[in-house]
Amino acid sequence: MVFLLSPLLLTGQNTIDEALSRYNSGSVPYVDQQTAYAWQSDNSAVFLDSRSRDEFEVSHLKNAHFVGDEEFNPEVLEQINLDPSSKIVVYCSIGVRSERVGEKLKKLGYQNIYNLYGGLFQWYNSGKSLVDAQEKITQAIHGYDKHWAKFINRGTPEY
């Protein structure tokens, strides 16, 4: 996947908005950061992280479940007792991989799925908290790679 995206990155996206409009189809509706934060605060949605295991272990949204993207396995949904009618927020670094996972969820019969607009990077940029593998608040964030990490506006991304 990186091989396919890297040449496209050379054309340069300057903002998350531009990258999302270029790479996403809108097949999974977006949820804005403020609404997602409210849903997280009142536990009214299930958050699924569609990044790699390494990225997830550096930091993720509190109470999020790792599902991955390329390694996505529907059995994990059974392990977390995910009801098909649950409100689900999928996220990744900015929202590209999470759209793919949202599409997979739709094919499995889940209907109430939202893609976190701007993903974890925008969440972090706005000062919202992240947790590490031990569920402790952290300032660490995985930048995916140097091309995508340019969308992180604070701190020093890890790779």
For the chain, give every domain's residue range. Answer: 2-149
The reported pLDDT for the residue numbered 13 is 64
Range 2-149 has CATH code 3.40.250.10: yes
The reported pLDDT for the residue numbered 14 is 82
CA distance 8 to 135: 35
Tens-level pLDDT at each residue, the chain (159 residues): 333 444 444 445 689 999 999 999 999 999 999 999 999 999 999 999 999 999 999 999 999 999 999 999 999 999 999 999 999 999 999 999 999 999 999 999 999 999 999 999 999 999 999 999 999 999 999 999 999 999 999 988 999
Amino acid making up residue 146: K
